[in-house]
Amino acid sequence: MGIKIAVIDSMGGSIGNQIINQLRQNFGQELEIFALGTNAIATSNMLKAKANRGATGENAIKVTIEEMDSVIIANSMMGEITPTIAESIRKFNKKKIFIPLCNPPLNILGVEKKPLPQLIDEGIEIIKEMIDKNE
C-alpha cells in the first residue's frame, strides 16, 4: 500500500468519518488510512468510513503517528486533545493538516472561517498535491 495517513478525531468521530469518506472517494485503496480516536466511539465511527486500521487513546496516537507520512487533525472543541497528544503532533516532522473549527469565543487570526465541507475539500487537495510530488 502507498502513503500512510492518520486521521485524528475526538468526541464522536463524525468529522474524522467525513474526512476518511472523502479520502476513500478520491483515492480508493491507494492510501493506508489510520483512524486515531481520543476515545473508542470516535475510533469506531472512523473505522465505519473504511479506515484500514484504528487505535484509541493518548499512547496509541503518540506511537502510531511516528510511522505516518501525513496527519490530518480535526480540531478538538472540548479539550480532548491532551498535552501529550499535542506534543506528539508538534514533534511529527512530516505533513500536518489541521482543520480548525472556530466556535465563539475562539478566534484564530489569519484563518478564514469556512464551512466544514470546504475545509475537508481543501485538505483533500493538499493530499493530492503530496501524492503528485511523490510520484
Q: 35: domain CATH number?
A: 3.40.50.1220
Query: Omega into 115 within 30° of 0, i.e. cis?
Result: no
Q: For residue range 39-68, list pLDDT tens digits in order.
A: 999 999 999 999 999 999 999 999 999 899
Is 115 exposed, middle or buried, given 0-12, 13-18 or 19+ CB atoms closer than 10 A?
exposed
pLDDT value for 63: 92
Kindly report the three-state secondary structure assignment for every residue of 76-100.
CCCCCCCHHHHHHHHHCCCEEEEEC
Q: For residue range 77-122, list pLDDT tens digits in order.
A: 666 778 888 888 888 888 888 887 766 666 777 878 888 889 889 9
Q: For residue range 9-41, list pLDDT tens digits in order.
A: 988 889 999 999 999 999 989 999 999 999 999
Q: How confident is the model at residue 1 (pLDDT cuts 50, 70, 90)?
A: low
Question: Which 3 state secondary structure label does DSSP give 134?
Answer: helix
Rounded to an integer, the average pLDDT of 128-132 is: 87
How many structural domains comprise the chain? 1
Give the number of other Cβ atoms within 10 Å of residue 92's Cβ: 17
Q: Could you tell me where the DSSP H helices lie in 9-134?
A: 14-27, 40-47, 58-64, 83-91, 116-134
Residue ranges making up the domain that contains 51: 4-134
